[in-house]
Structure 1
Amino acid sequence: MRTITKKLIALNGGKLRLLQEKEGYINLTSYTPTPEEDEILKMGLNSHYITRPRSLDKCLEIEYLMDNIRRQENLSNLRTTDALQPLLLAEALTDRGNYKSNIIDRRLREAAKQLREREDITVRRADKTAAFVLINTEDYHRKSDWIF
């Protein structure tokens, strides 16, 4: 490793800044996360956990789709069967796909749940990075009241 670093320094013609591993979160509290909480927080927003879509949202999307189809039927020679609407509404009520993460296992989900249930800590997204910020809930409310 040292020879590679020396070669890079020679090629660069001077000092070489090596990237350090970034934390996936910023802790502005006195709370020390458990190892599991630390692990899930370090993943940041790159954890790829997809929540299951709500059936109401899916029904609204299907209704919007049906309105667009009716509009196209009125404007052109588009024809559909009468069974299309019940079939699409039935599709809105079915679950498709696997919404369990391959990255987040049960212990990490439990750690995230425990962290979320803490009333003295608020977890929010950082502004310009894929990281989380842990802040005291009182401070968070005070700063948000000051902004608004």
Structure 2
Amino acid sequence: MYSSLDPFKKAEKTAKLELLIRNLCELHKKGKIDINPDIKELLQAESTKHRAHGHSSLLTAKLHQAAKQLCENNDIVIRRVDKSDLFVILNHLEYIDKVDSLLQGPSKFLHVKMNPREEIRKKVTQSIDNANASRDGVKFSPLQGHYEPGNFYGNGKTHKPGHKLRHIISQIPTPTYQLAKQLNDPITPFIPTIHALRSTDEFVDILRNTNPQGILASLDIESLWTLP
């Protein structure tokens, strides 16, 4: 559980983590160590936390026990509600049926006879080597560690009839994930932001402040990535 930090101790912890980040980056530049590209964000997030043995004042012992029982119940699946911070409790068999129906859809997924991990890894490694061979190009870190296919799961669409699932594939364990994150920095400056919004809240603020006239239309993309 987390408890509040004394302001002085919080500032001290933040300063120590900033110093740790700086030292790690210096060692990385000198080629002495390899670090996780997300290390800065992870350590900065850690600076806001305080781990203690006490219990949260928001979660009583009774609620804690109820949450534990829900997590240990194999007949249910707890998933986040799509586009929301809420959660929904689903029957386990019903969840599996909905997942199977998504995976069987030929418009979104293809059956493969072997794990494509190694083939993808070789292609990504070759692409990194080719890019790094360029004299003035961006230098990318080589692939290291163990990789797996993406993790598939579904979030509940409570606003849709039948409470369908929105399929999500987490790319974190895949060979392409870290390279994609490294590509973000050189690509971002070339992405136009004048007509781009960062969040729904920003869109709502624009509507409130500008009071637009006429008809407001919303277009939804059905299939962003189509299969060949």
TM-score (normalizing by structure 1): 0.37
| Larger helix share, 1 or 2 | 1
Q: Report 1 or 2 for greater relative contact order, CA contacts < 8 Å, sequence distance ≥ 6.
A: 1
What is the TM-score with the length of structure 2 in the denominator?
Answer: 0.25
